[in-house]
Amino acid sequence: MKRSLTESQAELKSLLLGLDKVLLEKAIELARRWYKAIVEKLDELIKKLRDKRLSIEHIRAAWYETCLGPVRVKRRQYRDKDGQYRYLLDELLGMGRDHTVASVREVALELASKMSYRGSAEVLRKTSAIDLSHQTIWRLLARVADPYLKKAELELRDFLETGEIPEGEGRELARLLVEADGVMLSLQRERERRAEVKVGIAYEGWSEVSRDRYRTVNKTIFAEVAGWQEYWAGMSLKLQKRYELSKVGEIIVGGDGARWIKEGVEYLGGRFQLDRYHLNRELCSALGKEGETRRRVREACDKGQVELGLGILSEAMKKAQGEQARRLRKAYGYLSENSSGLGDCRQELGEEGKALRRTGAIEGNVDKLVVRRMKNQGMNWTIRGIRRLLCVRFLVLEGKLREWLHQGDNIRSKPILSRRRVRPVIGKTLKENPGDWLDVQLPALQGPHASRPWAQVLKALAEVPA
């Protein structure tokens, strides 16, 4: 019994909707064969050009994780004079123990720095030929972050023990603005239930993006789970790589008044500025709809007239009762504790201060740098997991991930092959099987369904003889 035209059209539509995917899979399969052929020929070339003190032990296969998907490659195992086993092809391609190429590591880690490990694995699987589990991505991140963190810890230890400042750019400037804040993250498998991530930014000023929108200039970012001394030592070490801090005219440290931030003021030799966001929030909470009183206190604070501002709050406290009285006492205590940073530094600079904006950029940066990826999604962390992810996330944001990946490549000696020798191998291999493209066929055009109406239409469209 013949099928109806409606049924044939439905089958045709279903086939055409997946046509692009079928063709892409065929193209990728061909590219995998090319990749396998090229790298195995490179292994043959390495065999001829190697140091003859390296003896060939075995030919072993391994699955390389590439942007084309997994490719099974046979390569030679060598043994050096010290009895160590080596795979020279792996070393040439910068393969680690996981046999993942640098381009796959880069895209997987960049995704993991912005979304969950499971989400990263799912996106890769749906949008590319890369098929990594979330555990594999987690292990990749650990293998990239751990050497970087170890290197940073050694630099910090040397800095604290010797006081020697590493060589940097040595830039000098009139004013450097530093802001800091903390964010609490939930922990698992740790003694404490939560840990504070200290986040800091340093920048030279602002540039206008559009009307009433600005961005910081030459921003330096730093975050760590550590005590205040270790944190500010790490921050100053990072700043020393860019600036000659002893020749910076003025360092302004902004924050919400937390004790560890004020310790940073002394550590950097700067001056404290209570950021206006937290000041306004405290005054609004205490004074509510009393806009005139709030304005007077704010103006007194901006001018550095601390006693006047506290006096206005004191008068308001005498009239308040209940909850409002409690909030006013809290605000009074907050202003008293941060009296050294109440004055708006811009007003002290006169005409020069008019070009400056108030501190408060740290609020948005805490959200972008930490909160969006690591908080408010039911996530729990270990201390080590936080430090690893912060490390890779900041490498991505600073555009240094690719550079660090190549520094960590598994290259134990100078490359045996030059570009002059590799290029002909690639070019010759790509020309060997041009007919493979012609082997790409639609399965539906062959077999038991070839005589159906919709298959006949497809054959005509593809100019395939019936």
Cα separation, 176 vs 243, in Å, equals 10
User: pLDDT tens digits for 338-380?
Assistant: 998 888 877 766 555 555 677 778 988 999 999 999 997 789 9
CB atoms closer than 10 angstroms to residue 291: 10
Task: Give residue 140's pLDDT.
Answer: 94
**Bridge partners, residue 251, by sequence:** 176
Which amino acid, 450? A
- Contact of 230 with 156, CB cutoff 8 Å: yes
pLDDT band with cut points at 50, 70 and 90 for residue 416: low
User: pLDDT tens digits for 55-89?
Assistant: 999 999 999 999 999 999 999 999 998 899 999 99
Which residues, 6+ apart, have CB-to-CB distance to 46 below 8 Å?
A: 76, 88, 89, 92, 416, 417
Backbone phi and psi for residue 278, each to the nearest 5 degrees, phi listed first? -70, -35
Q: What is the pTM of this model?
A: 0.82
Residue 439: HSE in the Cβ half-sphere, 13 Å Cα cutoff: 9
DSSP 452: S
User: pLDDT tens digits for 112-122?
Assistant: 999 999 999 99
Residue with the two structure tokens 């504790």: 337
The residue ranges of every structural domain in the chain are 168-379
Whole-number average pLDDT of the chain: 85
Beta strands (DSSP E) in 93-174 are none
Tokens representing residue 410 in the block: 């598994």
Nearest to 43 by CA among 58, 28, 27, 65: 58
User: pLDDT tens digits for 231-246?
Assistant: 999 999 999 989 988 8
Q: Which H or E run includes 335? A: helix 322-337
Tokens representing residue 213 in the block: 């929108």
Cα separation, 7 vs 11, in Å, equals 6
Check whether 206 has a pLDDT greater than 50.
yes
Q: How far is CA 369 from CA 221, 239, 240, 335, in A?
A: 9, 18, 22, 29
User: pLDDT tens digits for 11-40?
Assistant: 777 777 778 888 888 899 999 999 999 999
Task: Give residue 427's pLDDT.
Answer: 82
Residue 246: HSE in the Cβ half-sphere, 13 Å Cα cutoff: 2
The proportion of the chain whose per-residue pLDDT surpasses 70, expressed as a percent, equals 87
Segment 80-106 shows an average pLDDT of: 89
Q: Among 199-203, 204-208, 414-418, 420-424, name the most confident range.
A: 199-203
pLDDT band with cut points at 50, 70 and 90 for residue 229: very high
Q: Which H or E run includes 273? A: strand 271-274
Task: Give residue 227's pLDDT.
Answer: 93
Pairwise pLDDT comparison (160 vs 96), residue with the higher score: 160
Segment 158-175 shows an average pLDDT of: 83
Cα separation, 67 vs 107, in Å, equals 9
